[in-house]
């Protein structure tokens, strides 16, 4: 009877382990499956096409060129290798229908493609943005521009993130990746010395009374919701930075870094302190017996002994900083530019996903691009944890501990 019970418990434990692993794998697979669909999508908005006059020699346009044309930044076909003709931008809208009577267009708009064809034929420099079902197929004087697929190089190397631009959305994630790394890097540079300092103090120097007050206080810090941190940052830290550094705008990468540092502190302190606490009493006493003073014992014995725990603290801190969403969303200004200094607005990957997933049409390129961002975030944290693993392994082997 007892044996059977043991078997059942064993089985249950195995199953729960297996289920957790499978679920994690499935999430990763799902993330990549949704994200990779992006590179199957056309770079012109779905259901629409671009038409030009046949006299035009330009055969294909990149998404960035299309955006520049429709923003009136490029105004002559010559700049794109075409004839010397001014570009006329035509967007199909309901008002176009109003200029024709119902008989001219037909009951179900069956003559609409013809009318659109006429317009395109009559304007040599036109670029028309039309719904696919009304595109003038096989008409004299009209050529439909070939649309390409969204390229990986454009995605990773592009410097503009305007996912709702029509006709051609801009998915350049470089500013987002750099923004995320930039904010996290400075957050960890602020949090690490502070966090380790507090951890050493708590573990080695603080008296029993002090520990009793400080420990719960720090743990409380971890329990504050991130929105509260964000609001605190927006109302207190942002104006302080703006006034303190005489900046035109206070929502900067620096504000994000400070908030993230505060948020990562409890994690770093708790994990590092736990690691230091595990140093055997015998080792401390041995060090002191050899004539080392308190400070020498700390940095020659305790820190080397607990180095793997400390690097775990660092990794968890970085992970917290990279993945943090709400607080950063509120204080960094969310401008998708490649950061050049600490005192400029930046936009991070998690903030982008949180802000945009709500209204991105499910299954569309924008939605897939956001999933792709999730994949990139996943890969970044994966690299960070693997490298930390390797570092701590090497260290402990070298010391022979």
Partner 1 sequence: MKQFILTVLIVILSLPLIYAQKLKGSDTVLPLSQKEAERYMKANPSASVTITGGGSGVGIAALMEGTTDIAQSSRKIKFDEKQKIQESGNTVKEVIIAYDALAVIVHPSNKVKNLTREQLDGIFTGKITNWKEVGGEDLKIIPYSRETSSGTYEFFKESVLKNKNYKSGIMSMPATGAIVQSVSQTKGAIGYIGLAYLNKEVKAIGVSYDKGKSYALPSIATAKDGTYPIVRPLFYYYIAKSEKKVKPFLDYVLSATGQKTVTEIGFIAL
Instruction: Tell me the closest approach of the beta carbon of residue 115 to partner 1, in angstroms.
Output: 15
DSSP secondary structure string for all residues of 291-351: T--HHHHIIIIIHHHTHHHHHHHHHHHHHHHHH--HHHHHHSBT------STTS-B--HHH
Q: Which is nearer to partner 1, 31 or 247 (CB)?
A: 247
Question: In angstroms, rounded to a whole number, what is the distance separating the alpha carbons of residues 169 and 159?
Answer: 13
Separation of CA 328 from chain center: 11
Shortest Cβ 171–partner 1 spacing (Å): 12
Q: Rounded CA gap, 18 and 10, in Å?
A: 12
Alpha-carbon distance of 386 to 318, in angstroms, equals 13
Q: Which of 160, 229, 297, 372 binds partner 1 (CB under 8 A)?
A: 160
Q: Exposure of 261 by Cβ count < 10 A (0-12 exposed, 13-18 middle, 19+ buried)?
A: buried
Between 105 and 206, name the residue whose CB sits nearer to partner 1: 105
Which range binds partner 1 by CB under 8 A, 135-143, 181-189, 283-291, 350-358? Answer: 350-358
Q: What angle do CA 241, 335, 331 make, to 5 degrees?
A: 40
**Spatial separation of the C-alpha atoms in residues 148 and 66, rounded to whole Å:** 12
Question: With binding defined as CB under 8 A, does residue 248 bind partner 1?
Answer: yes
Q: Which of 16, 76, 146, 164 binds partner 1 (CB under 8 A)?
A: 164
Distance CA 342, CA 257 (A): 9
Cα distance between residue 115 and residue 108, in whole Å: 14
What is the contact mask toward partner 1 in residues 14 to 53, using x (rule: CB under 8 A)?
A: ---------------------------------xx-----
Considering only 288, 355, 375, 384, the residue that binds partner 1 (CB under 8 A) is 355
* Least spacing, CB of residue 97 vs partner 1, in Å: 9
Total interface residues for partner 1 by CB under 8 A: 47
Residue 307 engages partner 1 in binding (rule: CB under 8 A) = no
Please give the residue ranges that form the binding site for partner 1 (CB under 8 A): 47-48, 67, 70-72, 91-94, 131, 133, 159-166, 170, 175, 234-235, 238-239, 242, 248-251, 329-330, 333-337, 345, 347, 354-356, 358-361
């Amino acid at each position: 009877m007892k044996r059977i019970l043991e078997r059942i418990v064993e089985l249950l434990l195995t199953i729960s382990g297996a289920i957790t692993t499978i679920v994690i794998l499935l999430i990763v697979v799902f993330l990549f499956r949704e994200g990779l669909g992006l590179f199957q999508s056309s770079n012109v908005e779905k259901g629409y096409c671009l038409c030009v006059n046949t006299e035009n020699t330009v055969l294909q346009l990149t998404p960035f060129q299309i955006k520049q044309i429709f923003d009136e930044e490029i105004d002559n076909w010559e700049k794109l290798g075409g004839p010397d003709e001014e570009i006329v931008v035509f967007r199909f809208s309901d008002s176009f229908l109003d200029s024709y009577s119902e008989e001219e267009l037909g009951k179900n708009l069956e003559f609409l493609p013809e009318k659109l064809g006429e317009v395109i034929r009559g304007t040599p420099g036109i670029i028309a943005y039309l719904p696919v079902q009304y595109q003038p197929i096989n008409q004299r004087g009209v050529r439909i521009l070939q649309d390409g697929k969204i390229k990986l190089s454009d995605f990773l190397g592009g410097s503009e993130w305007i996912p709702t631009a029509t006709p051609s959305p801009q998915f350049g994630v470089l500013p987002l990746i750099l923004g995320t790394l930039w904010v996290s890097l400075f957050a960890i540079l602020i949090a690490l010395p502070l966090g380790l300092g507090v951890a050493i103090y708590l573990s080695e120097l603080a008296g029993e009374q002090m520990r009793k007050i400080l420990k719960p206080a720090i743990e409380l810090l971890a329990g504050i919701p991130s929105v509260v941190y964000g609001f605190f940052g927006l109302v207190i830290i942002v104006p302080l930075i703006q006034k303190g550094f005489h900046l035109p705008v206070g929502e900067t990468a620096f504000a994000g870094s400070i908030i993230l540092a505060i948020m990562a502190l409890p994690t770093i302190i708790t994990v590092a302190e736990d690691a230091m606490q595990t140093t055997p009493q015998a080792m401390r006493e041995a060090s002191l017996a050899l004539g080392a003073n308190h400070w020498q014992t700390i940095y020659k014995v305790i820190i080397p002994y607990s180095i793997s725990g400390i690097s775990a603290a660092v990794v968890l801190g970085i992970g917290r900083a990279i993945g943090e969403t709400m607080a950063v969303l509120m204080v960094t200004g969310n401008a998708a530019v490649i950061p050049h200094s600490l005192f400029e607005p930046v936009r991070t990957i998690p903030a982008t996903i949180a802000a945009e997933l709500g209204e991105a049409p499910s299954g569309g390129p924008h939605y897939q691009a956001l999933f792709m961002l999730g994949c990139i975030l996943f890969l970044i944290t994966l690299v960070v944890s693997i490298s930390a693993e390797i570092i701590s392994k090497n260290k402990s082997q070298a010391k022979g501990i």
